[in-house]
Each structure stands twice: as C-alpha cells, then as structure tokens.
Amino acid sequence: MSSPLFIKICGLRTAEDVDAAVEAGADAIGFVFADSPRHVDAATAGKLAQRVPEHVLTVGVFRRQPVAQVRDLALASGVRSVQLHGDEGRDYYDTLRPQGWTLIRATSSDGGRTPRCGELGEDYLLLDAPDPGAGLPWNWADDRFTPPTGHWLLAGGLTPQNVGRAVRTIAPWGVDVSSGVEARRGVKDPALIREFIESARSAE
Ligand SMILES: O=C(O)c1ccccc1NCC(=O)[C@H](O)[C@H](O)COP(=O)(O)O
C-alpha cells in the first residue's frame, strides 16, 4: 500500500491560518524566511510554531541565504525542517545535517531531466516552478517528465481546482502550495486551505 499523501501549506503568517491548516490535516506548514511578501521573522514564526502539534512538521523556507543565517533563524524559531530554494551544494546540506532538521531541497524542473531525491543529502525533494511562490505551474504533465521516486513533493501553481488532477496524473509523494490558497498575494484564505486539503486527499 502506498503512503498517504504528504501535504504542505507554505507561507503562513497568522495564527488563524496555522490553525486552519493543522485542523484541516496538513502534514507540514512553512514559514518563509526568504525575501518575500510572505516573510516572517524568527520570533513570529516561533510563536506560530508553538501552536503546531508534534505530528505536523514546521518548515523554515530559505533562498540564497548564508548557511549561518539559515542555522540561526531555524534555531531561533524552533522549526524542525529547513527548505532550501537556492543552488546550494552538498557542503551546505552537510553543514546543516548535524542539527537534525529534515532537509528539503527545492529545485525547478523543466520537464526534462528529473533530479533524484537524496542527490545532495536532502531528505525530501521539492520540484517547483523556476520562480518559487509565484503561483505559476510548470509542465509536470509533459510526457518527457518522469516523476522521481522516493520522498518528493510537487509544487508550483497548485490550487484546490488542479491538485486532484496532479495527484492522479503523476502520483507525487506530497504536494506543496502557497499562492493557490491565498485571497491575495501573501494573505492566506482559511477556506481555500481547507478546500485544497480536501481536494488533495480525495484524489489519493
Ligand atoms: O513563497 C514565497 O514567496 C517564496 C519565496 C522565496 C522562496 C520560496 C518561496 N516559497 C516556497 C514555497 O514553498 C511555495 O509553496 C512553493 O514555491 C509553491 O508556491 P506556489 O506556486 O505559490 O504555490
């Protein structure tokens, strides 16, 4: 039997949104520490993370930030996972690994060569559009795209309307969404969070 779909809701900034994601059955929630309209500081993320039960993974999201800054922000906020959107190399992952965080490597896919999960020492691979958090899909439905095996998440332009098709078509291990559950850029809509999770689960 295959494992249940892993669902991550990213870019949360308020207690209401965190509670909506947790109550609707999210497996992970993301706090963006990168330059973004969804940016939160470590103190805010730390307070929000305290609302999250143990079984839900709290993820700090970074892009092209020095490894010392990643370590400091992750430690200060208490997240249990680090998601890296830059072109960090294996040494970067090796530096973070001893902290015990679940390491997520986010990279874009052009529908051609598929990156392999674990290639750089990451725990999970996230295949995203080239501009993360922009709500734009990529051509994951292209015949040339061979989904990776293992713990990999599909991201990029997912919505409550298209996530079911994505899950049925390429059977990712997990899905990740940000823009598709927002009322406007950077502002989440709890009703859309619930709708996304319901649609994804009903496609499993
Ligand atoms: O959300 C951002 O603004 C962001 C900025 C810089 C690096 C990563 C960012 N988000 C990462 C995510 O995990 C998003 O959920 C993922 O890229 C999917 O985004 P979307 O297409 O908006 O659903």
Is 13 touching ligand 1 by the criterion CB < 6 Å? no
* CATH homologous superfamily, domain 6-202: Aldolase class I (3.20.20.70)
Encode the chain (204 residues) as per-residue pLDDT tens digits: 578 999 999 999 999 999 999 999 999 999 999 999 999 999 999 999 999 999 999 999 999 999 999 999 999 999 999 999 988 999 999 999 999 999 999 998 766 678 899 999 999 999 999 999 999 999 888 878 889 999 999 999 999 999 999 999 999 999 999 999 999 999 999 999 999 999 999 998
Give which of 131, 103, 100, 129 is closest to 117, Cα–Cα: 103
Q: How far is the CA of 26 from the centre of ligand 1 (A)?
A: 16
* Cβ 13 vs Cβ 186: under 8 Å: yes
CA 100 – ligand 1 centroid, Å: 23
178 lines ligand 1 (CB under 6 A): yes
Specify the residue with its C-alpha closest to ligand 1, atom 2. Answer: 133
pTM over 0.90: yes
Contact 110, 138 (CB under 8 A): yes
Ranges of each domain in the chain? 6-202
In degrees to the nearest 10, what's the CA dihedral of 18, 33, 184, 193? -30
The SS3 of residue 89 is: coil
Give the ipTM: 0.97
Cross-strand partners of 61:
32, 83
Residue minimizing CA distance to atom 1 of ligand 1: 133
